[in-house]
Amino acid sequence: MGNYAEEINKRRTFAIISHPDAGKTTLTEKFLLYGGAINLAGSVKGKATARHAVSDWMEIEKERGISVTSSVLQFEYGGYCINILDTPGHQDFSEDTYRTLMAADSAVMVIDASKGVEAQTRKLFKVCVMRHIPIFTFINKMDRDANDTFSLLDEIEKELGIATCPVNWPIGSGRNFKGVYDREERCVITYADTQKGTKEGHTTVIPVSDESLLTENIGEDFKSQLFDEIDLLDGASAEYDLDRIQAGDLTPVFFGSALTNFGVEFFLKHFLQMTTTPLPRKADIGMIDPVEHDFSAFVFKIQANMNKAHRDRVAFMRICSGRFDAGAEVKHVQGGKVMRLSQPQQIMADERKILNEAYAGDIIGVFDPGIFSIGDTICMPKEQFEYEGIPTFAPEHFARVKQVDTMKRKQFVKGITQIAQEGAIQIFQEFNTGMEEIIVGVVGVLQFDVLKYRLENEYNVEIRMENLPYEHIRWIENKDIDLDRLTGTSDMKKIRDLKGNPLLLFVNQWSIGMTLDRNEGLILSEFGRN
C-alpha cells in the first residue's frame, strides 16, 4: 500500500460522448481553458482548427473530416487532476469508443438542445448503462433555439431509460436566452457571451427572492414562466441523489452554451463534486482497490502511426491502482514478461510529455514494439492477475483480402496482424488453410478504407478486397464438438480466429436458427474476448 492516496483521490477520469456536432470538441476546449492548459485566444478558431489541435493523427481524418482516433487530455482544476478521454463520434468507430468507455469512471454526454437524443448518443448510452457508468448530461447550444426543456428531459428519460435531475434550468433560448436558474442556490445567472477569449463572464447573479431585479433583467414574462416551471420541477423531477447518480441510475442535467462559454464552469464545478474518484476494477483475483493495491493497469487502446515522423505504435493503458514509476520493472501478464515500459508518456493533443510517474486514474501511452493486445494486464513483477477482458464486438461486414504483389506476402501478414492487434479490424482464416487468404471483419465499413489506406501507406502493400455476403458471426462455445460433422445451411461458412478458435459466418438470422436446430447442443456466442 502506498502513501499516495491523496494523489489518487484527486483524480477524476471521464469520457466525453456525443453525437457528432453536438459540441463535444468545443466543450472540451472550454474545459481546458479553465485548467489553463490551452491559451484560448489562439484556439477558438472554429472547428477545423479545434479538431486538428486535439486529434490529427491520421490523414484520413482530414480527408473525411471526421475524428477517427480517441485522445486523452489531462489538466488540473480546483485541486482536481482531470483526465478526459475524448471519443470519436462517428458511428463507424463505435468499437473504439466502447473501449474508451471501459477506461473511464464516468461519462459526460453532450446533447444538442435543438436535436435532443440522437442515434449515436443512444448507442453510447447503452454501453454506459450496461457498465453502470455514471452519466452527466450537458445540454448544449442554448444560445440557439432549443426544444422545450421538459420535452428534452422526457426524451432522455424515455429513450435512454434513466431518470433526470436538472441542476440548473434554462430561461428561454436562442435570441431570447436569458440565463439559467441554479436550483440549489435559488438564484438566476444571467446569460453572457464570454467566448471572446476570456473566461470571466459578465454574468449577474440574482436571487429569485429579488423579484424586481429579476424582472429588470429577464423581463416579467420570463420571470413568471420561470416561477411556474420551478414549481413544476420541484414537484415532478427526480430528487438529487448522489448514490443513484454514482450507480448510473440518475443523470444530473446541466444547460449551457459551450460556444459562448456559458454554463461551462458551472458544469465543471458541480460535475467534479458529483463524479467519483478512480473506481476499483474487477480482476480474476477479485476487486483491485486503486489506493490499497500496488501499480496495475490494463491496455484499452492501441494506436499505430500517431506521428508520421515516428512511425510508431502506442499502447494506451488505464492505471487502475497504485503509482506508476517509470524506472521500475513491471510484468506484462499475458506475455509472461517482466520489463520496463518504454517511453511512458502522456499524450496531449499531438504533443507528448515523457512521464516519470503517474497514478491510478491516469492514462499513459507507452511505446509498443508489437507485444501488447487490447485487454492485457500490467502489474508488479511479484503479482499475477488479469483484469476482466474487454469484449470484442461482433463484426458485421466481411471481406476476403489478398495482397496484389505476391512478393510482399511478409509485409502484408505483418501489417494486417498488427492492425488487428490494435482492434480496428478482426482477422480470420479459412478453416482448413493457412494465412493465404485472410478474411477481415469490421464493425463499421469505413474500417475497410482505413485498412487499405494504412496497408498502402505504412506497410507499402497494395491489397485487393472482395466483399463477402455475411453479416453475422458466432463463436462456437462447445469444446468437444466435431466440427467436420457440424451441419449448417449451405450459405454458412466455417472459419477460425488467429488463436484457432472455430467460428461460423452467417448471411442472416434464419441460417443461425437453422444451424442451431440441426446441431443439438451447439452453443453459439456473439462475443469473443480479446
Q: Which is nearer to ligand G4P, 144 or 397 (CB)?
A: 144
Of the pair 28, 515, the CB lying nearest ligand G4P is at 28
Residue 208 C-beta: closest distance to ligand G4P, Å: 25
Three-state DSSP class for residue 164: strand
Angle at alpha carbon of residue 108, lines to 241 and 266, rounded to 5°: 70
Tell me if 201 sits within 8 A of 192, measured CB to CB. Answer: yes
Side chain identity at 267, as an amino acid letter?
F
d(CA 335, CA 421): 14
DSSP 457-521: HHH---EEEEEE---EEEEE--SS--GGG----TT-EEEEETT--EEEEESSHHHHHHHHHHSTT
Nearer to ligand G4P, 121 or 418 (CB): 121
Q: For ligand G4P, which residue has the nearest CB?
A: 46
**Of the two residues 22 and 73, which places its CB atom closer to ligand G4P in the complex?**
22
Let me know: does 399 contact 439? Beta carbons within 8 Å. Answer: yes
Q: How far is the CB of 123 from ligand G4P (least distance, A)?
A: 15
Q: How far is the CB of 97 from ligand G4P (least distance, A)?
A: 13
SS3 226: helix
CB of 396 to ligand G4P, least distance (A): 24
Cβ 46 to ligand G4P shortest distance, Å = 3
Residue 28 or 426: the one with the smaller Cβ distance to ligand G4P is 28
| 404 touches 452 (CB < 8 A) | no
Comparing CB distances to ligand G4P, the nearer of 140 and 392 is: 140
**Shortest distance, position 110 Cβ to ligand G4P, whole Å:** 6
Residue with smaller CB distance to ligand G4P, 55 or 373? 55
CA–CA separation, 233 and 318 (whole Å): 39
Nearest approach, Cβ of residue 363 and ligand G4P (Å): 20
**Footprint on this chain of ligand G4P (rule: CB under 6 A):** 18, 20-26, 46-47, 89, 140-141, 143-144, 257-259
C-beta of 20 vs 502, nearer to ligand G4P: 20
Q: Give the type of residue at 182.
A: D
Please report how close the Cβ of residue 119 comes to ligand G4P at its closest, in angstroms. Answer: 14
Distance between CA atoms of residues 213 and 335, nearest Å: 68
Write down the residue that cell numbers 420571470 correspond to. 223
- Cβ closer to ligand G4P: 87 or 303? 87
Per the document, the length of the chain is 530
Q: What is the CA radius of gyration of the chain?
A: 25
User: 95 vs 143, which CB is nearer to ligand G4P?
Assistant: 143
Enumerate the H helices of 237-377 as residue ranges. 242-246, 264-274
Q: How far apart are CA 373 and CA 530, in angstroms?
A: 8
Give the residue among 324, 446, 376, 499 at the shortest CA–CA distance from 99: 376
| Nearest distance, CB of residue 267 and ligand G4P, angstroms | 12
- In the complex, minimum distance from the CB of residue 210 to ligand G4P, in angstroms, rounded to a whole number: 28
For 211, the grid coordinates are 423579484
Q: How far apart are CB 360 and ligand G4P at their closest, in Å?
A: 28
Q: In degrees rounded to 5, what are phi and psi of residue 20?
A: -50, 140
235: Cβ–Cβ under 8 A, 6 or more apart, which residues?
Answer: none
Residue 288 CA to residue 251 CA, distance in Å, equals 27
d(CA 243, CA 276): 11
Nearer to ligand G4P, 173 or 246 (CB): 173
106 in Cβ contact with 84 (< 8 Å): no
Residue linked to cell 441542476? 167
